Structure 1
Amino acid sequence: MNYDFLDESGQILREAGRLGKIDPNVIEFLAAPGRVVTFRIPMKMDDGSFRVFDAHRVRYNDALGPSRDGTRISTDLDLDEVKSLALIMSIKHAAGRIPAGGGKGGIVADPRELSDREFESLCRAYIRNLRPRGRAYDVPGADIGTDLQTMSWMLDEYESVTGYHEPAAVNDKPPILGGSLGGYEATGSGVFDVFREAAEQADFDIENARVAIQGFGQVGSVAATMFYEAGCDVVAVCDSRGGVYSSDGLDIPALLAHKKSTGKVSDFAGSEPIVSEKVLECDCDVLVPASVQGVITADNADRIQARMVVEAANAPTTIKADAMLLERGVIIVPDVLANAGSVQLCQMERSQGLSDNYWDIDTINHLRQKRLARSYREAVTTAAEHQLKSVRLGAWINALKRIEEAMHLRGWC
């Protein structure tokens, strides 16, 4: 698949800037990251061998506040991908009215190939070599290949280096170390929150809606549970090892138990096998791409049967496919809104860590739902004001206007 993530992100930036009449100096500044750090991590392995791991951290723009989140550990990671994700993170924060800039980073590695000791050593070495400056500068969070445990190691390493406790210096850690309740579910639950708002705006009947989800990891599985509990029929899901389909709808709690015991969704009782590409094209009302970028393209957009696409992954729809789907009247709930539950949660985690005052789960869920719904409504309103079919462009225009205002007030341009 020939997909240039960085180029596509740049095209959306320029188009939103043109439509929103954003100061050209702001767009010029945002055409590239504000700061890029690349370094190499040397490691002695358990068997006595020696390996070197490449690592990156991008602080794209901090006009609205300290940059944050996401740390990926993946063999497919490259610097252009990190730059694109950091730009998208800048837009997510600004579109969600979060006082933060966009950051992203990661290590080129496969956690599955590392022992527990090697993996912990790698995570700690990443923080040491990154030389982070704390909560007011750049705050690493979790992403693909990282979780509560990895962020615990990173926080501990940061605090060991600096010599004092600072829970707000690292995001996505367990509550017992100063994290927030609801962290694991935040992105997947947020996908459903934004879908529900989009459905209400479009007079779309949620009950018995047929839903297909490509990706059944942390985000996809939580989202599937939310759709199932709301009365939707989740007809197809897949993970990296295969997929399952049932025209009558899958029993999601039973499927989760099956995956926990077998490590995969394949061979689930009462279902038919389906490959990942066919999940995108199956008979459904709502399609949720929740795996990787660039899976809906000009080559398969005509075969998408869904009436609504809810982007749980970052940039799953290419620019050409986006235009094709919009022309057919398909509602696209864009990634910068649909999967922003985690960035809202990280903002709440930061607020709790700074104040040393921790909230109950009902408060967290209420604030997440309220903030995500507001961001979607604002994007729809902006798109309508500019006579656009694209809610994505509405969200980007809103974000760029806020970054523009912050840059002007700071005297940067």
Structure 2
Amino acid sequence: MSNLSYVSPTGDSPWGTYLSQVDRVVPYLGAQARWVETLKRPKRALIVDVPIELDNGTVAHFEGFRVQHNLSRGPGKGGVRYHPDVTLEEVMALSAWMTVKCAAVNLPFGGAKGGIRVDPKLLSTKELERMTRRYTSEIGLIIGPQKDIPAPDVNTNGQIMAWMMDTYSMNTGSTSTGVVTGKPLHLGGSAGRIKATGRGVFVTGREAARRIGMDLNGARVAVQGFGNVGGSAAELFGQAGSKIVAAQDHTGTIFNANGFDLAELIPHVNNTGGVAGFKGADVIKAEEFWDVDCDILIPAALEGQITEERARRIKAKMVLEGANGPTVPKADDMLFERNILVVPDVICNAGGVTVSYFEWVQDFSSFFWSEDEINVRLDKIMVDALKKIWDTADRHKITLRTATFAVACERILIAREERGLYP
């Protein structure tokens, strides 16, 4: 496969989208604007060869990446994804959004991201383990509890984090639980981590709805991506009385104007791997998902899904970005013109990295909190962060996305300035 960047249906690349977002925030950075080039250049990018022996005895090579975008505020933090479309440029953009996201919720982390260009469904469990361990060894020189802390992302999970933690620990000669987050509970994982990103989407959505006078009870919600993020968010909106009327994932697109029975849909997804085949819904075409009459739209899949053309058709009053970079810049402008509120990814889906921070802290102290404690702390951080961002948006009369970048980038660049340049 070529090393061309992942490109959305309109030709927008994730890195291009990120650079456009940075350009838009420059007028609000004040004296820190002189440092803005810092945000446009990743600090470190590593490309690694990942050779493994397959079960049939042949040797396969996979291309892996780890990018550390900015470490001014602390060690790198960001997930690892296994996907056939992973490229260096995509990982660069994801690492940059992690930098902004961590600063937006004021966590002591910089941004990083990793990935391997592979379709993990084509590998056996043993092949997946060998690839994960080899990749971990290859990037081992730049990761560590005080350097860069990977986490799960697309097609990776707690088991893969356990293999990464074990490999790093074997190579360094001592158990190092804090080298990754998103681990199984009995290996130093945190309660509440799996559903944390979806919970953050719900909490920011709840606060945004309150501010614009939307009643969540009876609100119609459409969700793209029904995994940990979209499924967890849907469950919480359902508990608040909302109706999940449409869902789309890699298996299909379903619709029910009266709302799905989540007590049946969620087990169906868990058992079958997707929404396809769910009996309590009608099947609709993939593109018709963007025409669904709803109050809240949650894109929780991959980048570049809301194009300018789709943004013209969206009927929601509010978009909650559960995915990273789901809206291209021209679509952002279109949604703004149409008075559709967008709660951007860099705050909306920051629940996952926030609870990853909690896990990292708990690993260092070997003292663990209950899920109730986790959720209370998470909710407070998300609500406080959104309030500051909303106040910034009101003060400058700008979108929530530009306001989030303004708050986050100021924090990053102040840290850059105060640390100075070495040598």
**Deviation digits for residues 327-384 of structure 1, max 9, x if unmatched?**
1111111100111110100110111011111001110000111111111111111111
State the shift of 1:120 in Å: 0.3
Aligned to 1:140: 150
Query: Which residue, out of 242, 246, 253, partners 2:263?
Result: 253
Aligned to 1:44: 53
- Output the TM-score relative to the length of structure 2: 0.95
Query: Which residue, out of 8, 27, 52, partners 2:17?
Result: 8
Equivalent residues in 2 for 1:67-216, closer than 5 Å = 67-131=76-140, 132-216=142-226
Counterpart Cα distance in 1 of 2:97 and 2:111: 7
Counterpart Cα distance in 1 of 2:351 and 2:237: 16
State the shift of 1:52 in Å: 0.7
Identity %: 37
Aligned to 2:6: none
Look up the equivalent residue of 1:180 and give its one-letter code. S
Is 1:393 matched with 2:402?
Answer: yes
Look up the equivalent residue of 1:227 and give its one-letter code. F
Look up the equivalent residue of 2:371 and give its one-letter code. I
Query: Which residue, out of 36, 40, 59, partners 1:31?
Result: 40
State the shift of 1:22 in Å: 5.2
Q: CA RMSD in A?
A: 1.2
Is 1:283 matched with 2:293?
Answer: yes
Is 1:313 matched with 2:323?
Answer: yes
Equivalent residues in 2 for 1:325-340, closer than 5 Å = 325-340=335-350
Aligned to 1:380: 390
Look up the equivalent residue of 1:292 and give its one-letter code. L
**Deviation digits for residues 174-217 of structure 1, max 9, x if unmatched?**
12111101111111111101101111121211110000001111
Aligned to 2:4: none
State the shift of 1:14 in Å: 1.7
SS in 2 for 1:264: coil
Aligned to 2:369: 359
Residues 77 and 150 of structure 2 are in contact (CA less than 8 Å); yes or no, is this contact kept in structure 1? Answer: yes
State the shift of 1:292 in Å: 1.0
Counterpart Cα distance in 1 of 2:311 and 2:174: 52
Is 1:410 matched with 2:410?
Answer: no
Task: Say how many residue pairs are matched.
Answer: 412
Residues 80 and 152 of structure 2 are in contact (CA less than 8 Å); yes or no, is this contact kept in structure 1? Answer: yes
Counterpart Cα distance in 1 of 2:238 and 2:33: 46
Is 1:65 matched with 2:64?
Answer: no
Aligned to 2:3: none
Counterpart Cα distance in 2 of 1:216 and 1:75: 20
Look up the equivalent residue of 1:404 and give its one-letter code. L
Look up the equivalent residue of 1:66 and give its one-letter code. P
Is 1:56 matched with 2:56?
Answer: no
Counterpart Cα distance in 1 of 2:206 and 2:260: 20
- Output the TM-score relative to the length of structure 1: 0.97
State the shift of 1:133 in Å: 4.5
Gaps of 5+ in 2: 1-8
Aligned to 1:371: 381
State the shift of 1:256 in Å: 1.4
Residues 226 and 274 of structure 2 are in contact (CA less than 8 Å); yes or no, is this contact kept in structure 1? Answer: no
Counterpart Cα distance in 1 of 2:33 and 2:274: 49
State the shift of 1:31 in Å: 1.0
Residues 194 and 376 of structure 1 are in contact (CA less than 8 Å); yes or no, is this contact kept in structure 2? Answer: yes
State the shift of 1:25 in Å: 3.5
Counterpart Cα distance in 2 of 1:347 and 1:48: 40
Residues 342 and 400 of structure 2 are in contact (CA less than 8 Å); yes or no, is this contact kept in structure 1? Answer: yes
Look up the equivalent residue of 1:72 and give its one-letter code. R
Residues 72 and 142 of structure 1 are in contact (CA less than 8 Å); yes or no, is this contact kept in structure 2? Answer: yes
Counterpart Cα distance in 1 of 2:310 and 2:111: 31
SS in 2 for 1:371: helix
Query: Which residue, out of 301, 310, 315, partners 2:311?
Result: 301
**Deviation digits for residues 261-280 of structure 1, max 9, x if unmatched?**
33332232231112332222
Residues 248 and 289 of structure 2 are in contact (CA less than 8 Å); yes or no, is this contact kept in structure 1? Answer: yes
Residues 213 and 279 of structure 1 are in contact (CA less than 8 Å); yes or no, is this contact kept in structure 2? Answer: no
State the shift of 1:231 in Å: 0.2
Residues 32 and 410 of structure 2 are in contact (CA less than 8 Å); yes or no, is this contact kept in structure 1? Answer: no
State the shift of 1:114 in Å: 0.6
Counterpart Cα distance in 2 of 1:168 and 1:183: 14
Counterpart Cα distance in 2 of 1:22 and 1:208: 46
